[in-house]
């Protein structure tokens, strides 16, 4: 398989997996336990003028949810590629 085809497959797999993980709600408990302490930490840094606390909570919930979905998709792709390499060695 050519290099371009491999990277195109990886990109499509990343987009599909991150979407599926995001809509499945599998990471919701993790994000719900992290987003309030994360917002408090960002608030304590004092990075200048900030919006209302409730707006920051909503934004951080969404950002963290999709960030963890993307990280999960990357890890799944890496695991599948590693598994394929292990099977092809045998």
Predicted confidence (pLDDT) per residue in 8-24, tens digit: 999 999 999 999 999 99
Residue pLDDT, tens place only, 34-86 = 999 998 898 888 777 888 888 888 899 999 999 999 999 999 999 999 999 99
Report the pLDDT value the prediction gives residue 55, as an integer from 0 to 100. 86
The DSSP call for residue 49 is S
**Tokens in use for 50?**
């900030």
Measured CA to CA, the distance from residue 84 to residue 10 in angstroms comes to 14
Phi-psi category of residue 50: left, alpha or beta, with phi > 0 → left and psi -120 to 50 → alpha: beta
For the cut 90, the answer to whether the pLDDT of residue 33 exceeds it is yes
Measured CA to CA, the distance from residue 86 to residue 90 in angstroms comes to 7
- Tell me the C-alpha to C-alpha distance, in Å, between residue 26 and each of 2, 23, 60, 90: 34, 8, 17, 34
User: What count of other Cβ atoms lies within 10 Å of the Cβ of residue 69?
Assistant: 21
């Amino acid at each position: 398989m050519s290099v371009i085809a491999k990277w195109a497959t990886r990109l499509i797999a990343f987009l599909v997996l991150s979407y599926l993980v995001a809509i499945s709600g599998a990471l919701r408990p993790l994000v719900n336990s992290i987003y309030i302490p994360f917002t408090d930490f960002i608030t304590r840094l004092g990075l200048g003028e900030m919006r209302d606390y409730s707006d920051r909570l909503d934004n951080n919930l969404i950002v963290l949810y999709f960030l963890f979905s993307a990280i999960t998709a990357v890890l799944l792709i890496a695991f599948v590629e590693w598994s394929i390499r292990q099977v092809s060695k045998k």
